[in-house]
């Protein structure tokens, strides 16, 4: 398989990686990068020459391999790492693995998210805990895990994938919205805290992004609650989009890649709405 | 009150604490407006003490459902919920343990959510009810003092908007208040990474810090018929504290009211 061959190549180059210089490629860890926005982010970073760690949850290796294949087609380097981001130990193990392979983590993109699409009164206790564990604390554990490496490196970029629903309610998944609002404050609080280490923390808040048919329980961002019924609305739905279309993972990836750039050194604590103008309507 | 009878007064479940005087003030204000307030330990509210129940912190759905059923069994009705329960676990990303961050978040956000579910089901059945969440201004403004608290407060503010949509279709009103700049907040929200609370009284244009009664007045308004068309709103009640930008122009020339 392509993905495993890629990992072997990296292992073989381990000693060289340990002697990184400032001219070596940056390393980005992208959570939930096996599909949707995460894949779009991984590809956009790879296009800028960034080495990409493709995190994926247990059981979803196929999507991660596809992302890795596409990175490889671009001539980029990737490393696939399985880890359930809701588990601090799994996250720490993932970060250790990345540091062992590539010696650095310069960019962290917290993208992994779940969205059961349950109503306020239908939400079950375990679903609440699950959404908060992945969407909120997955980002917290990953951020904590990269702090020491980034401090040693003299700085870094942490970027959270939030949502327009950190500000505007969903009307279809209240806990998802709660989780994204919490991420907004994780962005602001940690920007305040980490600035002295030249670690910037920003967020992108996408609106509707076409990522395919949502699947209950998948660790990936899902924006459209009832894809099939809404698709029937056709023109009415399109009309809500000022630019005439929903977003693509590539749209999000481009903005994330811009935030991650070394030149973007004075921006921190910002949450950038990226919705094709849909929240204006 | 006789057990099992229906209260002639509307019944309010106040989920709060006595530490900062906010719950006591809300208790008094709501009582003055004719509410029968239950669900807290109002040690400072005199005669109403005998009608108070006490519930443990709600962290499981059964606790919230049990609280609602207990209130309805005892008073025959439930008409309002005020959630004003702040649990603040100090610490940021660097110095917090996973357990501290998790528990601090859940103690605020999950409690508010479970209370909302429990009263929401009851209110929908009766096509009537009002919910007011009291969140901190740190749902939007970072303090540097408590990551879990800020994340939770922001989550509750979003819960208010979501609940306003779901429950509003059943004649249930839902609103939120962002409360801040109270005496003692410089100690509560002290932080080595933020200057927000340095000389914070001077950052309030009037130099008058907030009093519990200021919050209680707005809660009372949101529970009253006068606010019938206010729904899904988040009202900032901070004396203008978060407007602060330049120290020089914010300093007053008049006497200081310390609240």
Q: Where are the domains of chain A?
A: 23-280
Residue B5 is predicted with a pLDDT of: 76
Q: pLDDT, tens digit, for every residue of A156-190?
A: 999 999 999 999 999 999 999 999 999 999 999 99
Higher pLDDT, B90 or B255: B90
**pLDDT tens column, A246-264:** 999 999 999 999 999 999 9
How far is Cα A110 from Cα A86, in angstroms, rounded to an integer? 12
d(CA B195, CA B143): 9
Annotated catalytic, A56? no
How confident is the model at residue A216, as a pLDDT?
Answer: 45
Residues of B in contact with A149 (CB under 8 A): none
Interface check for A268 against chain B (CB to CB < 8 A): the answer is no
Asked if A128 reaches chain B (Cβ–Cβ under 8 Å), the answer is yes
How confident is the model at residue A239, as a pLDDT?
A: 61
Nearest chain B residue to A139 by CA distance is: B93
Q: What gap in Å lies between CA A231 and CA A28, rounded to an integer?
A: 35
Phi, psi of A209, deg, nearest 5:
-125, 130
- Out of B93, B138, B153, the one facing A143 most closely (by C-beta) is B93
Look at residue B259 and tell me whether its pLDDT is greater than 70: no
Alpha carbon A9 to its chain centroid, in Å, reads 25
Minimum distance, in Å, between the CA of residue A65 and any CA atom of chain B: 31
Which of the four pLDDT bands, split at 50, 70 and 90, describes residue B57?
confident
Residues 188-217 of A with CB under 8 A from B: 188-196
- Side-chain half-sphere exposure of A33, counting CA atoms within 13 A: 32
Query: How far off is chain B from A63, nearest CA to CA, in Å?
Result: 29
Tell whether A143 lies on the interface with B, counting CB pairs under 8 A: yes
CA A47 from centroid of its chain's CA atoms: 16
> How many angstroms separate the CA atoms of A269 and A188, rounded?
5
In CATH terms, the fold of domain A23-280 is Rossmann fold (3.40.50)
- Domain parsing of chain B, residue ranges: 11-250
Q: What is the tens place of the pLDDT at every residue in B67-84?
A: 999 999 999 999 999 999
Residues B179-218 have pLDDT tens digits of 999 999 999 999 999 999 999 999 999 999 999 999 999 9
- Collapsed DSSP state (helix, strand, coil) of residue B82: strand
ipTM attached to this prediction: 0.93
Mean predicted lDDT score pLDDT of chain A: 87
Tell me the DSSP string of B96-156. --HHHHHHHHIIIIIHHHHHHHHHHHHHHHHT-EEEEEEEEGGGTS--SSBHHHHHHHHHH
Task: Encode pLDDT of B100-110 as tens digits.
Answer: 999 999 999 99
Candidates 3.40.50.2300, 3.40.50.360, 3.40.50.720, 3.40.309.10; correct CATH number of B11-250?
3.40.50.720
B123 vs chain A: nearest CA distance in angstroms?
12
Q: DSSP secondary-structure letter at B180?
A: -
pLDDT band at residue A211 using 50, 70 and 90 as cut-offs? confident
Q: How many CB pairs under 8 A join A and B?
A: 130
* pLDDT for the residue numbered A242: 87
Q: Rounded distance, CA A84 to CA A34, Å?
A: 13
Residue that the structure tokens 């996973």 belong to = B98
B197 within 8 A of B256, measured Cβ to Cβ: no
* B143 contacts A175? CB cut-off 8 A: no
**pLDDT of A162:** 98
* pTM summary value: 0.90
Categorize the per-residue pLDDT at A60 as very low, low, confident or very high, splitting at 50, 70 and 90.
Answer: very high
Measured CA to CA, the distance from residue A23 to residue A42 in angstroms comes to 20
- The dihedral region occupied by A117, where left means phi > 0, alpha psi between -120 and 50, and beta the remainder, is left
Half-sphere exposure of residue A263: CA atoms within 13 angstroms, side-chain side: 2
Strand-pairing partners, residue A1, are: none
């Amino acid at each position: 398989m392509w993905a495993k061959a890629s990992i072997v190549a990296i292992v073989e180059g381990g000693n060289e990686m340990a002697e990184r210089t400032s001219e070596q490629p940056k390393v980005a860890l992208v959570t939930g990068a096996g599909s949707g926005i995460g894949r779009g982010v991984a590809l956009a970073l790879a296009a800028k020459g960034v080495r990409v760690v493709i995190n994926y949850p247990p059981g979803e290796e196929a999507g991660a391999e596809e992302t890795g294949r596409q990175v490889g087609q671009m001539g980029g380097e990737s490393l696939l790492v399985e880890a359930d981001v809701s588990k601090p130990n799994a996250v720490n193990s993932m970060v250790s693995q990345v540091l062992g392979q590539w010696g650095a983590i310069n960019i962290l993109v917290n993208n992994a998210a779940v969205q059961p699409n349950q109503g306020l009164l239908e939400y079950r206790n375990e679903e609440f805990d699950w959404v908060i564990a992945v969407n909120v604390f997955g980002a917290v554990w990953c951020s904590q895990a990269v702090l020491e490496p980034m401090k040693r490196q003299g700085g870094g970029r942490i970027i959270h994938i939030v949502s327009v629903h950190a500000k505007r309610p969903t009307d279809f998944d209240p806990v998802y919205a709660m989780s994204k609002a919490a991420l907004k404050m994780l962005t602001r609080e940690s920007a305040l805290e980490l600035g002295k280490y030249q670690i910037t923390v920003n967020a992108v808040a996408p609106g509707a992004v076409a990522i395919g048919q949502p699947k209950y329980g998948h660790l990936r961002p899902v924006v459209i609650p009832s894809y099939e019924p809404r698709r029937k609305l056709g023109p009415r739905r399109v009309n809500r989009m000022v630019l005439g279309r929903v977003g693509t993972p590539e749209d999000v990836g481009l903005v994330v890649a811009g935030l991650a750039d070394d030149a973007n050194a004075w921006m921190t604590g910002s949450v950038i709405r990226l919705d094709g103008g849909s929240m204006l309507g | 009150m006789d057990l099992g009878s229906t209260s002639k007064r509307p019944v309010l479940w106040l989920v709060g604490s006595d530490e900062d005087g906010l719950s006591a003030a809300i208790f008094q204000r709501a009582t003055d407006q004719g509410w029968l307030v239950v669900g807290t330990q109002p040690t400072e509210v005199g005669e109403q003490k005998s009608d108070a129940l006490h519930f443990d912190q709600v962290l499981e759905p059964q606790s919230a459902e049990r609280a609602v059923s207990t209130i309805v069994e005892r008073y025959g009705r439930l008409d309002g919920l005020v959630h004003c329960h702040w649990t603040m676990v100090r610490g940021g990303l660097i110095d917090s343990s996973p357990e501290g961050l998790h528990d601090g978040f859940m103690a605020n956000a999950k409690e508010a959510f479970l209370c909302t579910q429990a009263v929401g089901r009851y209110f929908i059945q009766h096509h009537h009810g009002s919910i007011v969440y009291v969140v901190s201004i740190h749902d939007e403004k970072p303090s540097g003092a408590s990551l879990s608290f800020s994340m939770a407060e922001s989550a509750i503010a979003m819960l208010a908007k979501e609940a306003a949509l779901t429950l509003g279709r059943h004649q249930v009103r839902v609103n939120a208040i962002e409360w801040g700049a109270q005496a003692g907040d410089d100690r509560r929200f002290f932080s080595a990474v933020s200057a927000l609370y340095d000389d914070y009284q001077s950052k309030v244009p009037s130099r008058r810090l907030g009093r519990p009664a200021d919050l209680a007045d707005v809660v009372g308004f949101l529970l009253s018929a006068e606010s019938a068309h206010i729904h899904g709103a988040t009202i900032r009640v901070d004396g203008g504290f978060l407007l602060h930008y330049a120290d020089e122009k914010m300093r007053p020339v008049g006497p200081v009211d310390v609240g």
